[in-house]
């Protein structure tokens, strides 16, 4: 639809030139005042046919004949172009919504970002960077358009409505991020989402500290207070600048392709039931094990090399992104068999 502004500009220019041509002609040939010349031109090219304001001379009628021919032609072309534009917009809107619906219907194990404000944009950008499937929901048309221009799948709707959540496949979704405008809206959204999919992982934003416990009781797995977190980080940046720099280095992406990842050990993996020393994650795979999260929820930081990893464990590892992806496949039993 990028050609539509250009088409509208050409139509407007053609009509203005026709009006200017008629005004100049009637003023020059018949001596009409400017407004009378404008009125006469307008009634002529629109074929209203009120008649001549003043009796035209022979030269005036010759000029008016040319004006009728060219002016009416321009008006017909303008009406036709405007009609075509409206039809294209309606068809584009219809097929665009249909294409988005087909794409959403194919989603499975995806994430739903509710709200595309500053926090929602940050969450969506991170999901896009990691390459996981997700869909954005927002009530503001400009925000939805911004998300779509960024290459994201976005829907113009009210995320707090159950039918909207069903339309974006909440029953097949893996997680939901609630970043609506108020704590009350996010709380209502969390309650609705949990009722529609009890297995859903939920992350919510809160403005007030008093809302955090309410969000957790409603079913949110993770609750974030952006303003409080920002204050803590600002203080830590001054008190512990090197620690702050390292955290940014590891979590927010740098020119060095390094990140932190969680990888689960599958029962199919040849590495299951082996000690970290036997696996050689650092020497052979180029990654550092920061911690191990057991299926029971226990978190073991900086595990010793004689720690045995078992199926269901999650390793928190740090390294180059390419190596992390290979390790994820290896621990899932997809690639290779290593002892």
Q: Is the pLDDT of residue 203 over 90?
A: yes
Q: Is the pLDDT of residue 8 over 80?
A: no
Q: Report the relative pairing of strands 134-138 and 175-178 from DSSP bridges.
A: unpaired
Q: Is the pLDDT of residue 181 over 50?
A: yes
Q: What is the pLDDT of residue 7?
A: 75
Name 309's bridge partners. Answer: 274
68-120 pLDDT, tens digit per residue, is 888 888 888 888 877 777 776 665 555 556 677 888 888 899 999 999 999 99
Q: Is the pLDDT of residue 308 over 80?
A: yes
Domains of the chain are: 3-102 (1.10.287.70), 107-230 (3.40.50.720), 257-331 (3.30.70.1450)
Q: How does 176-191 read in b/e, with b if 16+ C-beta sit within 10 Å?
A: bbbbbeebebbbbbbb
Q: Report the relative pairing of strands 258-264 and 314-320 from DSSP bridges.
A: antiparallel
239-249 pLDDT, tens digit per residue, is 888 777 777 76
Token pair for residue 52?
Answer: 């001549």
Stated as kind and residue range, the H or E segment containing 17 is helix 3-30
Distance in angstroms (rounded) separating the CA atoms of residues 118 and 130: 19
CB 77, CB 15: distance < 8 Å: no
What is the DSSP annotation of 28-78? HHH---HHHHHHHHHHHHTT-----SS---HHHHHHHHHHHHHHHHHHHHH
């Amino acid at each position: 639809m990028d050609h539509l502004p250009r088409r509208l500009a050409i139509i407007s220019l053609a009509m203005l030139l026709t009006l200017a041509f008629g005004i100049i002609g009637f003023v020059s040939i018949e001596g009409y005042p400017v407004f009378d010349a404008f009125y006469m031109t307008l009634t002529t090219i629109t074929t209203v046919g009120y008649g001549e304001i003043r009796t035209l001379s022979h030269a005036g009628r010759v000029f008016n004949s040319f004006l009728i021919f060219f002016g009416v032609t321009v008006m017909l072309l303008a009406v036709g172009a405007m009609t075509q534009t409206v039809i294209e917009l309606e068809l584009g809107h219809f097929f665009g919504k249909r294409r988005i619906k087909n794409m959403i219907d194919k989603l499975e194990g995806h994430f739903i970002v509710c709200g595309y404000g500053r926090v929602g944009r940050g969450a969506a950008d991170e999901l896009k960077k990691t390459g996981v499937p997700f869909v954005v929901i927002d009530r503001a048309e400009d925000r939805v358009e911004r998300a779509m221009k960024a290459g994201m799948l976005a829907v113009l709707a009210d995320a707090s409505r159950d039918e909207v959540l069903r339309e974006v496949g909440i029953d097949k979704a893996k997680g939901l991020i609630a970043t609506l405008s108020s704590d009350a809206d996010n709380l209502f959204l969390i309650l609705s989402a949990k009722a529609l999919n009890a297995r859903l992982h939920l992350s919510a934003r809160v403005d007030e500290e008093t809302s955090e416990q309410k969000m957790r009781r409603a079913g949110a797995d993770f609750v974030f207070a952006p303003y409080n977190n920002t204050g803590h980080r600002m203080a830590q940046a001054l008190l512990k600048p090197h620690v702050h720099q390292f955290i940014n280095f590891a979590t927010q992406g740098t020119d060095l392709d390094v990140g932190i990842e969680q990888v689960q050990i599958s029962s199919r993996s040849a590495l299951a039931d082996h000690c970290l020393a036997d696996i050689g994650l650092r020497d052979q795979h180029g990654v550092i094990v920061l911690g191990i999260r057991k299926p029971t929820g226990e978190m073991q930081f900086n595990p010793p090399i004689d720690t045995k990893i078992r199926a269901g464990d999650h390793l928190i590892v740090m390294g180059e992104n390419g190596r992390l992806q290979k390790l994820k496949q290896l621990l899932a039993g997809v690639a290779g068999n290593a002892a």
